[in-house]
Amino acid sequence: MRKSFILGSMMAVTACNAAAFADTVVYSNIPTTLDPTGYYSQAYQADSLAEFGDRINFGGTARQLTSVTTWMDSYAAAANWTGFQSNTTVGGVAGYTYDFTFNIYAAGSGSTPGALLGTVTQSQFVRYETGGALGGLFAMTFDLSSLSLTAPDSIVYGLAFNTQTYGTSPTGANGPYNGLNFALSMDGAAGITTGSNVNLNDVFWAKNGGAFQANSGWDPYPGVGSSLTPIVSFSAVPAPGALALLGVAGLIGARRRRA
């Protein structure tokens, strides 16, 4: 009876703790203030890429990943794609829906990522470029909660999608996705507000049908004078094991207060 009571109490406290914990940002280099001059970006179709990402370290202690947000830059104008079959509008903004795959790998070593830890494929809204200072800059958020993934402190991530001639299933046709790029932070290490970047001088990509691997010395815009990094933000909650420990600590603390 006593064991059942303790187990039930632990489960109840743990459930309360889980409900009390909101998502915590564990890595982010999203600019706190938008630069009105726009952002550099990494092309997929134009640079023969199927997947693009980086190796990063998480900050804080929460490790069960819940979501990731990527910043993208669209160079496709709505006026050029009036007949595209996936066209739609969201909040009065013209765009289209398209499938993207976000992959999470173990950190690995050197130029090679570790094992694939989790992957999600989701349909996202992609805005058309509408002019103005920031052009086609927009964000896409992927729900990672279905993975129930407790991540290690360091990972490699990659964003993949199909273009006309690259990806796991190239479309074989021209489309607005050919003008879609991954936006890059121009602030280097100083722009990382949570977590850290293992090596600011490399990124990971799958180029010309090759393997997904590090490209050391990557320098897409010579003369910029700063280390460019893909703009992403990961959020997480404490892993179930951590919540259980918090539940035990709560019970012990309650017992001490009653003594």
One-character DSSP codes across 98-164: EEEEEEEEE--BTTB---EEEEEEEEEEEEPB--STTTTEEEEEEE-GGG--B--SEEEEEEE---S
Nearest to 220 by CA among 50, 29, 49: 49
Answer yes or no: do 1 and 29 share one domain.
no
Answer yes or no: do 97 and 179 share one domain.
yes
Answer yes or no: do 46 and 6 share one domain.
no
Answer yes or no: do 84 and 202 share one domain.
yes
Question: What pLDDT score was predicted for residue 8?
Answer: 44
- Per-residue pLDDT tens for 145-185? 999 999 999 999 999 999 999 999 999 999 999 999 999 99
Number of structural domains in the chain: 2
What is the C-alpha to C-alpha distance for residues 259 and 252, in angstroms, rounded to an integer?
A: 11
Each residue's pLDDT, cut to its tens digit, for the chain (259 residues) gives 444 433 444 444 444 444 457 899 999 999 988 888 889 999 999 999 999 999 999 999 999 999 999 999 999 999 999 999 999 999 999 999 999 999 999 999 999 999 999 999 999 999 999 877 778 999 999 999 999 999 999 999 999 999 999 999 999 999 999 999 999 999 999 999 999 998 998 999 999 999 999 998 888 898 887 889 999 999 999 998 765 555 544 544 544 445 5
Answer yes or no: do 153 and 254 share one domain.
no
Answer yes or no: do 33 and 54 share one domain.
yes
Name the residue range of residue 247's domain.
Answer: 1-21+239-259
Answer yes or no: do 98 and 185 share one domain.
yes
Answer yes or no: do 160 and 250 share one domain.
no
Answer yes or no: do 60 and 143 share one domain.
yes
Question: What pLDDT score was predicted for residue 86?
Answer: 97
pTM given for the model: 0.86
Answer yes or no: do 227 and 257 share one domain.
no
Answer yes or no: do 138 and 223 share one domain.
yes
Answer yes or no: do 218 and 244 share one domain.
no
